[in-house]
């Protein structure tokens, strides 16, 4: 596994090539436009569907791997970066929703954040974080992490709120407008995506404070949508770092990252360096790939219904 190297400025990474995406229709307009992007095959072609929108640009940088990576290794992974995916007002609403849940003490316990927090609270250090840092971040890494740092506080948000706010946008940018049933929320692997359904495994807000970060990991789902709900000042930490590709993305309010990290695309959250600093993100872990073929009968055992694909 390649180890973490020096991370080049984000702006430089955007210069070689980028995807200009006229994206995301207003909610009053039908989502009938041509497929702008499908995660199954990223494209660097210029796309313009003639739609005026307040989401004018998305950048798909072509990345260069560190020199330590063999030339015959797979091509660099790609991360779709979407400025202004959410408005300031939408970000504030989500933060307030998350803070209300956090006040109840209902931390989401299924993921790495909570496991790290539990170990740090009990022993002062996380053995899981230590193993991940040792394996994936060598001494030459320009971004440092410690296994004694917390993993941020993660809370699950209301499903109906997330569905109404994000479903149409996510279907559009992923080219899944034909999924008529939209989001289906289920953590358990027994529920799978269908030609009509997108399964959201996780819809959580994470709050990171001083020293908080997440060690290198993969997400284990077909796609990840990560949305920055506030801006972290330059040099104050909080960047999302894609280890093998040398990409570090600064948190900017309303900006979304869309990427595939089921078994690859190792990444981590850089610790917050400012004593008064805070970073909020919203993360959706999404399964959308299915192996149904035309003519297959698909049964929904919950509803007792079926249909032919």
pLDDT of the residue at 147: 54
pLDDT of the residue at 189: 81
pLDDT of the residue at 187: 84
Residue pLDDT, tens place only, 93-133: 999 999 999 999 877 666 555 565 555 455 555 555 555 55
- Measured CA to CA, the distance from residue 155 to residue 203 in angstroms comes to 9
The number of residues in the chain equals 309
Find where tokens 């307009």 sit: 29
pLDDT of the residue at 30: 28
Flag whether pLDDT at 7 surpasses 50.
no
Q: For residue 251, what pLDDT band results from cuts at 50, 70 and 90?
A: very high
Could you give the strand order of the β-sheet that contains 247-249, starting from the edge strand earlier in sequence? Answer: 214-217, 267-269, 240-242, 247-249
Largest CA distance in the chain: 58
Flag whether pLDDT at 9 surpasses 60.
no
Q: For residue 33, what pLDDT band results from cuts at 50, 70 and 90?
A: very low
Q: For residue 15, what pLDDT band results from cuts at 50, 70 and 90?
A: very low
- Measured CA to CA, the distance from residue 246 to residue 305 in angstroms comes to 48
Flag whether pLDDT at 42 surpasses 50.
no
Residue pLDDT, tens place only, 155-193: 999 999 999 999 999 998 888 999 999 999 988 888 899
pLDDT of the residue at 88: 96
DSSP string across 206-223: EEE-BT--EEEE---SSE
Q: Tell me if 81 sits within 8 A of 59, measured CB to CB.
A: yes
Of the ranges 15-19, 145-149, 259-263, 274-278, the best mean pLDDT one: 274-278
Q: Tell me if 227 sits within 8 A of 258, measured CB to CB.
A: no
DSSP string across 236-287: SB--EEEGGGTEEEPP-TT-EEEE--SS---EEEPPB--TT--EEEEEEEEE
CATH number of 10-308: 2.60.120.620
Residue pLDDT, tens place only, 277-296: 899 999 998 999 998 999 99
Q: Tell me if 203 sits within 8 A of 175, measured CB to CB.
A: no
The domain spans of the chain are 10-308
Q: Is the model more confident about 63 or about 108?
A: 108
Reported as type and span, the H/E element at residue 160 is helix 159-173
pLDDT of the residue at 279: 95
Residues 50-76: what's their mean pLDDT? Answer: 35
Q: Tell me if 4 sits within 8 A of 141, measured CB to CB.
A: yes
Reported as type and span, the H/E element at residue 305 is strand 305-308
């Amino acid at each position: 596994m390649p180890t973490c190297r020096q991370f080049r400025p984000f702006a430089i990474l955007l210069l070689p090539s980028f995807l200009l995406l006229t994206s995301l229709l207003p909610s009053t307009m039908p989502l009938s436009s041509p497929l702008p992007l499908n995660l199954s095959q990223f494209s660097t072609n210029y796309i313009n569907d003639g739609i005026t929108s307040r989401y004018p640009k998305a950048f798909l940088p072509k990345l260069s791997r560190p020199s330590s990576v063999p030339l015959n290794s797979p091509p660099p992974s790609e991360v779709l970066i979407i400025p202004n995916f959410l408005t300031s007002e939408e970000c504030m609403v989500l933060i307030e929703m998350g803070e209300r849940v956090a006040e109840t003490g209902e931390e989401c316990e299924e993921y790495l954040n909570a496991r790290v927090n539990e170990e740090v609270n009990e022993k002062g250090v996380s053995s899981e974080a230590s193993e991940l840092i040792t394996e994936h971040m060598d001494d030459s890494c320009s971004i440092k992490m410690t296994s004694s740092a917390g993993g941020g506080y993660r809370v699950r948000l209301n499903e109906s709120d997330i569905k109404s706010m994000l479903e149409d946008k996510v279907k559009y940018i992923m080219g899944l407008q034909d999924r008529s049933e939209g989001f289906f929320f289920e953590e358990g692997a027994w529920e799978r995506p269908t030609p009509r359904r997108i399964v959201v495994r996780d819809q959580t807000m994470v709050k990171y404070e001083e020293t908080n970060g997440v060690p290198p990991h993969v997400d284990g789902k077909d796609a990840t949508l990560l949305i920055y709900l506030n801006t972290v000042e330059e040099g104050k930490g909080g960047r999302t770092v894609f280890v093998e590709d040398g990409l570090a993305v600064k948190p900017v309010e309303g900006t979304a990252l869309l990427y595939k990290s089921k078994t690859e695309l190792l990444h981590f959250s850089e610790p917050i360096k400012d004593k008064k600093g805070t970073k909020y993100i919203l993360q959706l872990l999404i399964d959308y790939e299915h192996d149904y073929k035309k003519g297959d009968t698909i049964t929904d055992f919950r509803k007792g219904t079926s249909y032919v694909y």
